[in-house]
Structure 1
Amino acid sequence: MTGAASILRVAAGQPALVGDLDSTVAAHAAMIRAAASDLIVFPELSLTGYRFDAALVDVLRDRAVLRPLIDACADVHGIALVGAPVGGPSIATVQVDADGLRIAYRKVNLGAGEAQHFQRGAGPAVIDVHGWRVGLAICRDTGIEQHTRELTALGIDVYACGVVHHRNELDEQERRAQHIATSAKVPVVLASFAGPTGEGYADTAGQSSIWAEDGSVIGRAGEEPGEFTTAILRRQVPADRRTHRSRSLH
């Protein structure tokens, strides 16, 4: 893509769910600054936890509360993808950058329990990050072949998703990420919830990860809240082109 950056610094993070929105926003903002990436991806419903009864987040009404996210993105010149329940109601990916916040994607493929509380989104979505086309997905989307095909057909350079899985579902989380990377032939940035949350998810998988298009892991966080991993994606260079690191933020 003409004018696109030759490298993209990406991160997948699993911030601690502190309890109240102000504190959880602060935890996200601290991780944005620590990761210092062009793009950082957070888990499904990362701002509220995976709870069907959580108060909806309004990107206009709650702008003052969410302001630390905007300021953190401005400081690192990056974009954050945070998870939140929004008007609709929908399970959404909210894009944050120095200019503010917007709803970038609404989850299309809802689980049975989710469908009783939320509306499905209209379809796949892509955002631009420094000239890289980033396709968006949320949790169950990652296991739906049609969604992956439709998203890939839009022309993407990176696949970014936020998920919540039980710890005993880690193998499935890994299988999906690897399959998407190799079938879509793009890197995958997967942010997985860590720590206890609602709706029966007392023991979540964590281990947020970044995958190369050949299906190899190039970045992985651990199981605990407060951890993140980063990688550098490069265009048109050999397969060993990427570097990665993992860190904790407690």
Structure 2
Amino acid sequence: MPRLIIAAAQYHAVAADIERNLNHHLRFIRQAAAQHVQLLIFPELSLTGYELNAASRLALTLDDPRLQPLADAAKQQQMTLVVGAPLNDGTELFIGALTFRPDGNRNAYTKQHLHGAEKEIFCPGNGGALLTVSQRRIALAICADTAHPEHVADAAIAGAEIYAAGVLVSQAGYSIDSSNLASYAQRHGVVTLMANHAGPTGGWVPAGRSAIWDETGQQVASVPDSSQGLLIAENRPSGWHGHYCRLS
């Protein structure tokens, strides 16, 4: 099986500033490229921050020209990028995970399980198709999706080998959410990844502590705090190995 290097971007968004956040994403992408990352996952609503009251105004379409720098970076670095944004499909508003592929294709995953005040603003999504990177099949999730065991079970039945979630998880919720992802990895034989925010956003104080678990449920690597950086994992003949690089 070809080598695969995946990463979670533990990232601090600027509230409601898409231009600054795009530039910040590109900084992460350049550092990930130096580490030969092939799949990079950003947290929930990373392009805007968790700014629910501004979501309608900030919403993007998948073909929004402001996203072109991400498409260019995916092609230039030969990296699959997954970023978070409010998504307007022309009729409804969703919490989206937007995927940019090295071949120029763009796709959207939409959050299926909304939480709290999200239900007043967004519509429940329909999920999305599996991604394929280096012959591995990847299922996406956004935050509260991971609280529903059937979500990862359905992904595993569909053939997913990696379950990658962009999240916003606080200290209060971290223990149960991380325990769930470790349990899912063991139960379904999939690698699980959590990419969390690094700083306050939308009135929430996230825990940071992004993490990756292997197919047995053992933690491959985690971020020890709420700093900004890349949590990177690589599959080798001896199994998955990981490390954390602070943003430089």
Task: Compute the displacement of 1:130 (Å).
Answer: 2.4
Task: Compute the displacement of 1:72 (Å).
Answer: 2.5
Distance 1:222 1:57 in 2: 33
Does the aligned pair in 2 maintain the 1:94–1:101 contact within 8 Å? no
Q: Deviations over 1:173-198 (max 9, x none)?
A: 21121011111111112101120000
Letter in structure 2 aligned against 1:76: Q
Does the aligned pair in 1 maintain the 2:208–2:226 contact within 8 Å? yes
Task: Compute the displacement of 1:111 (Å).
Answer: 1.2
**Superposition RMSD in Å:** 1.8
Does the aligned pair in 1 maintain the 2:212–2:221 contact within 8 Å? yes
**What does residue 168 of structure 2 align with?**
164
**What does residue 6 of structure 1 align with?**
2
Query: What residue ranges of structure 1 are gaps of 5+ in the alignment?
Result: none
| Residue pairs, 1:1-250, within 5 angstroms | 5-19=1-15, 20-36=17-33, 37-52=37-52, 53-54=54-55, 55-61=58-64, 63=65, 65-87=66-88, 88-100=92-104, 102-123=106-127, 125-198=129-202, 200-201=203-204, 203-234=205-236, 237=237, 240-250=238-248
Equivalent residue of 2:240, what SS? coil
Task: Compute the displacement of 1:225 (Å).
Answer: 4.6
Distance 1:86 1:68 in 2: 18
Letter in structure 2 aligned against 1:27: H
Distance 1:244 1:169 in 2: 24
Q: Count residues in correspondence.
A: 238
Does the aligned pair in 1 maintain the 2:14–2:49 contact within 8 Å? no
Equivalent residue of 1:11, what SS? strand
Q: Deviations over 1:130-158 (max 9, x none)?
A: 22110111111111012122111101111
Does the aligned pair in 2 maintain the 1:109–1:140 contact within 8 Å? yes
Equivalent residue of 1:60, what SS? coil
Distance 2:123 2:105 in 1: 21
Letter in structure 2 aligned against 1:160: A
Return the TM-score normalized by structure 1.
0.88
Letter in structure 1 aligned against 2:2: S
Task: Compute the displacement of 1:123 (Å).
Answer: 4.2
Q: Deviations over 1:76-111 (max 9, x none)?
A: 211011111101200011001234463331111111
Return the TM-score normalized by structure 2.
0.89
Query: What residue ranges of structure 2 are gaps of 5+ in the alignment?
Result: none
Letter in structure 2 aligned against 1:144: H
Structure 1 moving runs of 4+ over 4 Å: none
Distance 2:218 2:32 in 1: 21
Q: Deviations over 1:16-50 (max 9, x none)?
A: 21342111111111111212211011111111111
Does the aligned pair in 2 maintain the 1:10–1:232 contact within 8 Å? yes
Does the aligned pair in 2 maintain the 1:134–1:158 contact within 8 Å? yes
Distance 2:105 2:119 in 1: 25
Does the aligned pair in 1 maintain the 2:18–2:47 contact within 8 Å? yes
Letter in structure 1 aligned against 2:76: D
Equivalent residue of 1:207, what SS? coil
